[in-house]
Structure 1
Amino acid sequence: MTQTIQATRQNTQKENNMSLDTIPQPVRSGRNELVPSRYAVKIGDIDVLVVSDGVLPLPNTMLGHNADPAARAAWIHDMFLPSDASDWPLNVVVVQSGEQTILVDAGLGLDPDLHLPRAGQLIQRLAAAEIDLACVTDIVLTHLHMDHIGGLLVEGVKDQLRSDLRIHVAAAEVEFWKAPDFSHTKMPPGFPDALRATAKRFMAEYGKHFRTFTDEHELAPGVIVRRTGGHTPGHSVVRLASGGDALTFAGDAVFTVGFDQPDWHNGFEHDPEEAARVRTRLLRELAASGELLVATHLPFPSAGHVAIDGDAFRWVPISWDY
């Protein structure tokens, strides 16, 4: 795993210098993809690999359903996004800390009924990165929405995982999905049913591997998962710290629009007012500490810093490190 991440850093420039004649079709996954899909970061003694699961097209109203439509349209225009719908990135993180290999979230998976061919790429991309699923000792789930657990439901994946696999998830999240409340969400038709069904199936198939925690849990040296709530009752973030460096994987606590408009409600938030408080508090913490932020739905590889910008925030992406 560590050698794989180091090799990824060394091979990035080679990949970007490929001749167009050697580039296969973009839909293929592997070392010769037209668009890079993994990015290595070093946090002290902890190796981190950000992996793209693809993109998920969603209506732009999901970015702030409580916002004035004109203000939302102006923000979308200023960000050079399509007026009706746009692609949401899907990022997953693989962490090597000590003897543990940790997968943080698992992407969307490949449900043919979803008709989302540009998402659900995680399993192929882990294979392309030469990461053996049998080496994964722990999985941390920020929450149980299907774009964070679906990769583990892909046919054949469970058979490749260890029998002693530990899946860390907040107890409040498990309890919530026994009878989930969608009354405060604003999702496209069909999404609530799909989310319910996926979470139910996931808990049935993987429940025996759950290692639940209440508020905070250190699962490996320098790797702490902390429940924030808001997006879902058990939504959690993962903080990595080693050698004076730190990185927080924020899951769905932060979206691109959340820097400029932290009070706008995302359509997938089950408690949007609490989610806005969590987002603001987390962004202030990250701005004060200066540590790196990675999040599920920020543009790949999503690694950057947070700065205060008046009453809002500013995302400062890191320069791509070759």
Structure 2
Amino acid sequence: MKHETNMSLDNTSHSPTRGPDELVPSRYAVRVGDIEVLVVSDGVLLLPGAMLAHNAEPAVRAAWLKENFLPPDAFDWALNVVVVRSGDRTILIDAGMGTEFPDLERSGHVIHRLEAAGIDLASVTDVVLTHMHMDHVGGLLIDGVKERLRPDLRIHVAAAEVKFWEAPDFSRVSMPPGFPDALRSTAKRFVKEYRSQLRTFEEEYEVAPGVVVTRTGGHTPGHSVVRVTSGGDRLTFAGDLVFQVGFEHPEWYNGFEHDPEEAARVRINLLRELAATGGLLVATHMPFPSIGHVAVAGDAFRWVPAIWDY
């Protein structure tokens, strides 16, 4: 499987040099057989360390954070989205945070970073949503974005996800104050804005040749993953099923999980699958560019980051 930094999505291979305001890379390209994949950073979110594992003993969680050179109280969670080109289809997987929350100013960059990569929003034929949390749909709610998208844009999301946000249950989450209200209002606004373009599926749907979205549940009832397969190569975008701590402690519950036990079960099954197949993994909140492999390590797993290809 070859990693490439010159991706041919639209004019990406002739994209402009990084501007002076971009101090670190914000996009990374990889080829999966004949399919092109571009991971794009939407920025970072500063969140409490406890969100990684609210069912773990505080001392055990604190020790893990320290061993991984992470701050004890709060640290930056990456936000990654993916663009896939298969044949004549250009697919955006998740859309980032958006800009409606001024306090989260270090996120919400995906639209101008797509532009910097030479990707015209009007070229996007499909959007796939792993779920409808605000850091996955917010980019489509930025002022002026809808007008730049194709009128025939298809937005693929599990039917169970749309149903859930009609009356969401937050009884089992462990989020900072204000997040449930923000998540609820953003999902409601998103459905109102894009209802006519939603294309729901029950369990699985092939968006384009070699690009299949599958409902997993767990994190939210309609949470889904996207598998990209071509020429014997494989890449899975896991959305919010896998976090940084999830390899060593897949049984730890993330604060945003609406069904923690189911999320842990699905996470373990996915990590076993990836360890067995050797396919690449990308996840929303793994450090950018979040491309790597999964290996078995005793009763748990080990993250093996891919070597960057310049």
Which band: TM-score by shorter chain?
over 0.9
8 A contact 1:109–1:147 mirrored in 2: yes
The correspondence for 2:84, drawn from 95, 104, 109, is 95
**CA distance in 2 between partners of 1:43 and 1:2 (Å):** 14
1:48-73 Cα offsets, whole Å, 9 max, x none, are: 10000000000000000000111000
Equivalent position amino acid for 1:2 in 2 = L
Aligned to 1:51: 40
1:278-312 Cα offsets, whole Å, 9 max, x none, are: 00000000000000000000000000000000011
Aligned to 2:289: 301
The correspondence for 1:133, drawn from 103, 115, 121, is 121
**CA distance in 2 between partners of 1:85 and 1:153 (Å):** 27
Aligned to 1:107: 96
- Deviation of 1:117 after TM superposition, in Å, equals 1.0
Structure 1 stretches lacking a partner, 5+ long: 16-22
8 A contact 2:12–2:119 mirrored in 1: no
Structure 2 stretches lacking a partner, 5+ long: 1-7
CA distance 1:191–1:241, shift in 2 (3 Å): same
- Where does 1:154-303 land on structure 2 (aligned, <5 Å)? 154-303=142-291
The correspondence for 1:2, drawn from 9, 13, 28, is 9
**CA distance in 1 between partners of 2:94 and 2:139 (Å):** 9
Structure 1 segments of 4 or more deviating over 3 A? 3-8
**CA distance in 2 between partners of 1:314 and 1:7 (Å):** 36
Tell me the secondary structure at the aligned position of residue 286 of structure 1. Answer: helix
- Identity, % of aligned positions: 70
1:192-221 Cα offsets, whole Å, 9 max, x none, are: 000000000000000110110000100100
Aligned to 2:61: 72
8 A contact 1:67–1:264 mirrored in 2: yes
8 A contact 1:43–1:245 mirrored in 2: yes
**CA distance in 1 between partners of 2:80 and 2:282 (Å):** 8
Equivalent position amino acid for 1:63 in 2 = L
The correspondence for 2:26, drawn from 24, 37, 40, is 37
**CA distance in 1 between partners of 2:204 and 2:117 (Å):** 31
Tell me the secondary structure at the aligned position of residue 260 of structure 1. Answer: coil
Alpha carbon RMSD of aligned pairs, Å? Answer: 1.3
- Deviation of 1:34 after TM superposition, in Å, equals 1.2
8 A contact 1:60–1:86 mirrored in 2: yes
Aligned to 1:19: none
Structure 2 residue 51 is matched with structure 1 residue 62: yes
State the TM-score, normalized to the length of structure 1.
0.92
Aligned to 2:4: none
**CA distance in 1 between partners of 2:246 and 2:38 (Å):** 24
Aligned length in residues: 303
Equivalent position amino acid for 2:223 in 1 = H
**CA distance in 1 between partners of 2:11 and 2:45 (Å):** 27
The correspondence for 1:148, drawn from 136, 147, 161, is 136
